Chains A and B, each alone.
Chain A
């Protein structure tokens, strides 16, 4: 069957073919998927991937703020290890991350279990729990700075006035306690995220499983161990990995409270990178310090992606 056309008028069959191709594209799940993620991929490429590769280039050069520098290979990374400040910073970062994440895990899971129970004003409590997470970092840090102040600490005031202590703690003065203090503030900030994420996982567990285990004679601890924990583990691990990544690269809390002091006892890789790269203009070395975090974070991300893939395939 032929089609008739009128000169100058749109070809009906062409329009029909075009519309059909477009609707094929939209109807095809695969093509539609690519189409929908394209804007996000573009943003990631421009705002994440590009700066990342530029940073690698900087780390392999002796670039400063005013001088593009030359390629020096891995020299920045090798020379960094000669600095005791850098070695101390790497140690601090691991302790800071491990300590903060451990506190978040214990308190976050505990909080989630509590919030999963029924009690009065549960909704309001759940909302209030989020406050440390949603308050701007700088604001929260300023409040803690006052609470830890060497001369005006309200915490020490309470301890001394109540007769529990004679002098109070050197929260930010003693090097070890200072690291604990910044770690504590970081944990305080991150517990709500852990709690709410784990809570979501808990809420997805079917109640029948608890009923069945109760019928089988399982106690509370056994129900937690054999029912709750295995089923909430995927969500928990996801929250854990994200917490590790965010804590490892934390900057604001440490910079706001101590600027890496006293005597570099609280310096983490992000603050040292800022101090070296931006404050001192040594861009190459600053980038190298930042990229120290990469191997650790890469291992975590790959492990997480493989775990997600395995669970998707299963």
Chain B
């Protein structure tokens, strides 16, 4: 499906005029300190979000704000890990940018070098019905907001309805036992499922953390430092995983982020965990590509099954990092106000087609959700996000464990038989304790 680019072209002047009837909250019609920002500069570091219109809207917002405020605003884009490296460089040197797009861990890792934006966060929360728990966990350190959540990219079960039906499974299983049973049947039909067990920075965590939590396992206690991975819940999760792994497509321990997309698009797997990019890419090409049309017609998205401890998911949360070293704090705040304004954020969210969803409770009743019925499930997925490091916050210790793929490798070692499930959990516990001990000084 192609988007009308005029929808993406957001002129602040037009929107401001249209918002005249809106309640007189500061974010509905953000004030611009005319003249006081003239001649100042604002540099924003960003990556490339998957849905092009979301990038376009960011650029347009920057251009409109620059025109209205007199600021010179530059959006610098970086691919993949480059953004993280550039952000680290800004933090280390104290110069180079005023704002950056980061992830939830960055709030904790860089907390001392970020501005306190509690007042802005409170205003945004008031305007949109309150922040969800995952948002607070991603951006609050010591009770203060040190970043502002942009949104989360929910990952769903992408499944082939035709392949499931052919295997005698009419709907996506709602329990882990059901999923195991379906995997057996699909494997027997030559259409196996696949879950990422390789060092994939996105799919690795969004595929594996929900399994741990659904069985009652967790990495840390509430203090964020006491390692709690070795538990009956974790062992149960590992044993389930070992059981289902034999019905996977071969090679999942080597899967990096693109691999499950490629396998699904080539119809080599009948189900995998992924954001909505597989569907959006296929939908965009369906008009001219019969294979992609087949995918669109025969796939759907499903929620995570519910386990003994509940139903959970794990997504990356993008945040705005307001650098304390910025010489243009007023400009920083004006940009953030503009971003979260009623004239921008709902439109940006809708254009993203549930690719990135702000964790604001009021959005559930706003017109931000896609019309496509195959994307409706993302509304539910938006509510069940947990962050790595649970039962504590996403601390640097948790971040290091994620970046070292401890949890992913724990499952992989048990699945491949390198270790027994019990030994795999013990191995993971030792590694978590190493990290916690090494980081206890900081």
Contacts and interface: CB of A to CB of B under 8 A. Distances in A.
B85 interface: yes
Interface in B392-442: 396, 399-400, 403-405, 409, 412-413, 416, 418, 427, 430-431, 434, 437-439, 441-442
Contact of B92 (A65, A173, A264): A65
A72 interface: yes
A85 B254 contact: no
Contact of B427 (A76, A84, A261, A285): A84
A285 B438 contact: yes
A72 B92 CA distance: 20
A262 B252 CA distance: 9
B112 A66 contact: yes
A279 interface: yes
Given A67-B442, A85-B404, A150 B266 contact: no
Contacts of A279: 81, 84, 403
A269 B259 CA distance: 25
Given A151-B262, A259-B199, A64 B396 contact: yes
Contacts of B405: 260-261, 264
Interface residues of A, number: 40
Consensus secondary structure, chain B interface: helix
Nearest to A145: B256
A167 B251 CA distance: 12
B356 to A, nearest CB: 22
B9 to A, nearest CB: 35
B400 A262 contact: no
A178 B441 contact: no
Given A69-B442, A261-B199, A280 B88 contact: no
Contacts, number: 124
Interface string A264-297: 1000000000011011111001000000000000
A171 B198 CA distance: 13
A78 to B, nearest CB: 10
Nearest to A262: B253
Contacts of A171: 254
B416 A263 contact: yes
A175 B415 CA distance: 13
Interface string B39-68: 000000000000000000000000000000
Contact of A260 (B199, B416, B439, B442): B199
A38 to B, nearest CB: 28
B441 A72 contact: yes
Contacts of B137: none
Nearest to A260: B199
B251 A173 contact: yes
B266 A173 contact: no
A238 interface: no
Nearest to A83: B434
Nearest to B419: A263
Given A173-B250, A261-B253, A285-B438, A280 B262 contact: no
The residue among B91, B253, B416, B431 with the most chain A CB atoms within 10 A of its own CB is B253
B198 A280 contact: no
B396 A280 contact: yes
B259 A151 contact: yes
A162 B439 CA distance: 54
Contact of B254 (A82, A167, A178): A178
A167 B255 CA distance: 18
A259 B262 contact: no
A169 B206 CA distance: 28
Contacts of A82: 434
Given A64-B396, A67-B442, A261-B199, A173 B109 contact: no
B249 interface: yes
22 contacts: A66-B110, A66-B112, A66-B113, A79-B437, A83-B431, A84-B431, A85-B404, A149-B262, A150-B252, A151-B262, A151-B263, A175-B418, A259-B198, A263-B412, A263-B413, A263-B416, A276-B400, A278-B84, A278-B88, A280-B400, A282-B400, A282-B439
Q: Which 6 A-B pairs have the closest CB atoms?
A: A150-B251, A261-B199, A259-B199, A172-B254, A280-B400, A262-B253
Given A150-B251, A152-B266, A258-B256, 18 more contacts: A64-B442, A65-B109, A66-B109, A69-B442, A79-B434, A82-B434, A84-B431, A172-B251, A172-B254, A261-B253, A262-B197, A262-B254, A278-B88, A280-B399, A280-B400, A280-B404, A281-B88, A281-B400
